[in-house]
């Protein structure tokens, strides 16, 4: 199970030491929430910050783009060693050609569904191109929101679709993930869990303990 800590919830003033604390943990992606204040109400950071992060860490970078003009980011993000880049299905008129272009640049390319997005947008042609499908389990925009339980059934449906179509993408879940739902998410078919607040909230447990409990939770 890949765990993707979302730095939206980390201590930005001490990001270097935050990343050092994650560095020795295996099978991690570093989840970067790129929000433009248009596609979602919140505004985070863009390529200058991603460039700096890329310089100080060797954790695989996972960029989640919540932006209205993804074509611009496709170009500007290309030199920062990003491993996976995920676009929202509704962020552009022609998602298929965006994904085709992204596949030429990035090792892994994903598409994301918001909680209210129609699964009909997941065409066979699109699914056969992507490496990852991101199921948002909160409305995108903010860390620390409550997990939407219907996301479990959505993951199960997408897992079935993947099997029926004999495809090979990975299912990632993002929003309100914790040790309370990680087991259920895993059983439903998620192979990659994004977690912000659960990992970074200061409660005496180390990041590695938290990540272990996401991986092995019996709750």
Q: State the nearest-atom distance from the C-beta of 194 to Zn ion, in Å.
A: 5
Binding mask 38-67 for Zn ion (x = CB under 5 A): --------------------------x---
Q: How would you classify residue 175: left for phi > 0, otherwise alpha for psi between -120 and 50, otherwise beta?
A: left
* 33 contributes a contact to Zn ion by CB under 5 A: yes
3-state secondary structure of 90: helix
- Identify what 176 binds: Zn ion, ligand DX5, none; CB under 5 to 8 Å per kind: ligand DX5
Query: Scanning residues 60 to 79, which ones bind ligand DX5 (CB under 6 A)?
Result: 64
Distance (Å, rounded) from C-alpha 217 to C-alpha 45? 32
188 by Cβ neighbours in 10 Å (0-12 / 13-18 / 19+) ranks as: buried
Residue with nearest beta carbon to Zn ion: 64
73 CB-near residues (< 8 Å, 6+ apart): 34, 46, 47, 63, 65, 67
Residue 33 annotated in active site:
yes
Site size with Zn ion, rule: CB under 5 A: 3
* 189 contributes a contact to ligand DX5 by CB under 6 A: no
Residue 203 annotated in active site:
no
Nearest to 219 by CA among 191, 198, 192: 198
> What DSSP element (H or E) covers 64?
strand 60-66
- Identify what 138 binds: ligand DX5, Zn ion, none; CB under 5 to 8 Å per kind: ligand DX5
Alpha carbon distances (Å) from 70 to 77, 91, 95, 180, 198: 10, 7, 10, 33, 28
* 36 contributes a contact to Zn ion by CB under 5 A: no
Query: Scanning residues 136 to 165, which ones bind ligand DX5 (CB under 6 A)?
Result: 138, 140-141, 143-145
Distance (Å, rounded) from C-alpha 200 to C-alpha 195? 9
Binding mask 4-33 for ligand DX5 (x = CB under 6 A): --x-xx---------------------x-x
Task: Note the residues at the interface with ligand DX5 (CB under 6 A).
Answer: 6, 8-9, 31, 33, 64, 138, 140-141, 143-145, 174-177, 194-198
Task: Note the residues at the interface with Zn ion (CB under 5 A).
Answer: 33, 64, 174
Q: Which residues are catalytic?
A: 33, 174
């Amino acid at each position: 199970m890949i765990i993707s800590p979302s730095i939206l919830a980390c201590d930005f003033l001490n990001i270097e030491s935050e990343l050092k604390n994650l560095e020795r943990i295996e099978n991690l992606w570093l989840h970067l929430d790129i929000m433009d204040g248009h596609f979602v109400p919140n505004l985070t950071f863009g390529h200058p910050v991603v460039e700096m992060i890329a310089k100080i860490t060797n954790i695989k970078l996972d960029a989640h783009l919540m932006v209205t003009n993804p074509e611009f980011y496709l170009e500007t993000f290309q030199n920062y060693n990003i491993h996976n880049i995920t676009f929202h299905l509704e962020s552009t008129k022609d998602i298929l050609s965006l994904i085709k272009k992204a596949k030429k640049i990035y090792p892994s390319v994903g598409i994301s569904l918001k909680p209210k997005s129609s699964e009909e947008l997941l065409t066979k042609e699109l699914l056969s191109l992507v490496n990852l499908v991101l199921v948002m389990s909160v409305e995108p925009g903010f860390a620390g929101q409550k997990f939407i339980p219907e996301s479990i059934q959505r993951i199960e449906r997408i897992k079935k679709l993947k099997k029926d179509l004999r495809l090979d993408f990975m299912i990632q879940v993002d929003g309100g993930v914790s040790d309370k739902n990680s087991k259920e998410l895993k059983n439903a078919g998620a192979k990659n869990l994004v977690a912000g607040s659960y990992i970074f909230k200061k409660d005496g447990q180390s990041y590695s303990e938290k990540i272990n409990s996401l991986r092995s939770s019996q709750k």
